[in-house]
Structure formats: structure tokens, C-alpha cells
Amino acid sequence: MSTTRDWLPASREQQLAMAKDWQSVATDKAQAWGIPAAVLTELSDLIQTADTALATAQCRAAFEALAEKMRDMKRRYFLTPPLTDADYISLGLKPHNTTPTASGTPTAQVTVETYLAGRHELGVKIIYVTGSPSDPANKGYRVWYSVIAPGETPPVNPNELRKSFFTKRKKDVVEFDFGDSGKTAYFAVIVENGGKQGPAGPLVSALIP
């Protein structure tokens, strides 16, 4: 699966330290920033799992899960007020740069077409709804997705999707776990450029082979 860590530290030890800082700061600011208690509990559990797994064979999976949770928290709670520059620094993040750049913030909206790529794999093809792929602001694509089993409540908007990866390709492949076969994958894509994002595309669903 395509992925990037961009703002996350390079080493797992540093990622774990950053996550622990998030836990401390976000717990103190939870009410002001609108972070539900369940989100902090999930972060705490993932930190404990990653801490325990740091020197074991399960390390990669544990840190991938922790990184996805941190991406989700950053997108949901840290990209809008009332966070200050000091808050961003306390979380180990760079404060927002309010100075316009030549490329600007992406404004294009994209959707995806899905196709069968292999056993437990779905291909995603980026389709522009508005804007143009030649726009220099459209550097890449953040593909958000969730896997929903039969009988579970499906997402109703892109903000409810839980996992993501970044790609610069207009066609990519998502690999799912063996047990996901027969479940439904929901996708939405956001055009991304150095942390700046365009509007989320519509939800698209497909059955996992």
C-alpha cells in the first residue's frame, strides 16, 4: 500500500514519544478542542500496544495503527481553531503557514473509480470532478477509506473514514486483510499539497474480493 509519514518523525521511538506528548496535551485540552473521551482511550491503547511491541515481530502493525490514529486526530481536531501556534508546537507539529505560496491551496475535487486488482485488492483510479490535474497545486492525493462488515453501520460522509494513505499516482492499489473479503470498502479522496488540502470528494463503495 502506498504511504507516507511526512510530518511524523522518522524513527519509531520518536513517533512513540510524539504520541505520548499528544496524549498528555490532548487530555488537557480535550474539552476545548472537542476531542471525545473514546478517541483519547483509543490513542492510549494504541500507544501501549506500540510501546510493548517496539522490539517484537508485531512492531510494524502496531506502529501503522498508531500512525493512522494520529493522522485521524490531526485531521479531525488539530487543523481548525481554537488551536494556537503554541498548541501546534506542544504537539510537535509545525504551526500553520498563513503566507500564500505560488502553488496555493488545492481547490480541485476528485472522486475514484474502483476496479478489481487481485485477491483482497481493489484498484482506485482518480477522476477529477472539478479543477485540472495540470494545476501545480495538485501535488498528490490523500485516499481515505474504511472497511465495513455486513450489518455494521456504513459511513455517511468522508469525515467518518478511518484510514488513509498518500499517493502521487492517479491509479493505485489498496491491499486488504484476508478476513476483509466480502466486506465493503468506502473511499473518499482529498487533493493534497504539502499539508494543504482541497475539498473531500464523494463517498464511493466497493465490495472487497
- Is the pLDDT at 97 greater than 70? The verdict is no
Shared-domain flag, residues 140 and 182: yes
Q: How far apart are CA 29 and CA 13, in angstroms?
A: 24
Whether 6 maps to a domain, the answer reads: no
Shared-domain flag, residues 68 and 114: no
Confidence of residue 83 (pLDDT cuts 50, 70, 90): confident
Confidence of residue 101 (pLDDT cuts 50, 70, 90): very low
Shared-domain flag, residues 148 and 79: no
Q: What's the chain's average pLDDT?
A: 87
For residues 155 and 161, the answer to whether their CB atoms sit within 8 Å is yes
pLDDT, tens digit (0-9, with 9 covering 90-100), for 122-143: 999 999 999 988 888 898 999 9
Classified as helix, coil or strand, 117 is strand
- Is the pLDDT at 74 greater than 50? The verdict is yes
Question: Per residue in 151-182, is it b (16+ CB within 10 Å) or e — as a string?
Answer: eeeebeebeebebbbbbeeeebebebeeebee
Q: Which of 45, 61, 90 is the last residue of a domain?
A: 90
Whether 128 maps to a domain, the answer reads: yes
Whether 134 maps to a domain, the answer reads: yes
- Is the pLDDT at 57 greater than 80? The verdict is no
Q: How many structural domains compose the chain?
A: 2
**Cβ burial, residue 119 (10 Å; 0-12/13-18/19+):** exposed
Q: Which of 34, 63, 90 is the last residue of a domain?
A: 90
Q: How far apart are CA 205 and CA 46, in angstroms?
A: 28
Shared-domain flag, residues 84 and 144: no
Its domain, for residue 148, covers: 109-207
Shared-domain flag, residues 120 and 201: yes
Shared-domain flag, residues 27 and 81: yes
Q: Measuring CA to CA, which residue among 50, 57, 56 is closest to residue 17?
A: 50
Query: 6 is written with which cell numbers?
Result: 511526512
Classified as helix, coil or strand, 150 is coil
| pLDDT value of residue 2 | 38
DSSP assignment of 45-104 equals HHHHHHHHHTTSTTHHHHHHHHHHHHHHHIIIIISSTT--HHHHHHTT-PPP--S--SS-
Classified as helix, coil or strand, 139 is coil
- The pLDDT of 22-50, averaged and rounded, is 91
Q: Which of 59, 90, 121 is the last residue of a domain?
A: 90
Q: How far apart are CA 186 and CA 183, in angstroms?
A: 10
